[in-house]
Amino acid sequence: MPRLQAQVNFLLTCDQLKAVTRTTLLHSGARAENSAEHSWHLALMALTLGEYAPPETNLGRVVELLVLHDLVEIYAGDVHFDQSETAKIQQTQRETEAAARLFGQLPPDQRGTFHSAWQEFEARQTPEARFARALDALQPMLLTWGPGGIGSAAHPELTFGRVLALKRSALEEFPALWELAQGTAAQAVAAGIMPE
């Protein structure tokens, strides 16, 4: 297949990310967010909040990781972040298979580049991947419990302590973002939109 046609086929496949519904609602509560909207919002967060990344962090790379990280959901679907260990293992397997299938549509050089970026985000070993992961952990909190948010009545198990315990590993490395997460949760409890 000619290079350009393979690239176009990949891009058209990626349009399907707009149809992947997430468990997070829009900040207005009007409907569920889709994964393409989530990726765009994360890229915008990276550009806006980049000053809270460690010095020398390549923000362009952070944006790349955020744009690519959820593409595998086209084939693997999205899952709620508070899932069992068994479910996490199963989702990891589905996403690994989805990455091979999706990025396999690209010409070999791009296939390797995109697949490596996806693996970098998943491994969380570079400063860029850890910052991207922190933003990925923070964004649903801001939509759900941020100022003017409606809370998450559909997930009453997401109490103040539970949410912060689940988000700590991604956010604690970034003091300003971790403080924002803690403050957001505390304000949500005070507003009655998060169980204490």
Q: How high is the pLDDT of residue 82?
A: 59
Give the number of C-alpha atoms closer than 13 A to the C-alpha of residue 100, restricted to the C-beta side.
5
Examine residue 40 and state whether it is found in any structural domain, yes or no. yes
Examine residue 148 and state whether it is found in any structural domain, yes or no. yes
Q: What CATH number should be reported for the domain holding residue 84?
A: 1.10.3210.10
Listed residue (122, 186, 150) closest to 29, CA to CA: 150
Examine residue 89 and state whether it is found in any structural domain, yes or no. yes
As a whole number of angstroms, the distance between CA 182 and CA 109 comes to: 42
Enclosing domain of residue 132 = 3-191
Q: Provide the domain count of the chain.
A: 1
pLDDT (tens place) for every residue of the chain, 196 residues total: 799 999 999 999 999 999 999 989 899 999 999 999 999 999 999 999 999 999 999 999 999 999 999 999 999 987 766 567 787 788 889 999 999 999 999 999 999 999 999 999 999 999 999 999 999 999 999 999 999 988 877 678 889 999 999 999 999 999 999 999 999 999 999 999 999 8
Examine residue 196 and state whether it is found in any structural domain, yes or no. no
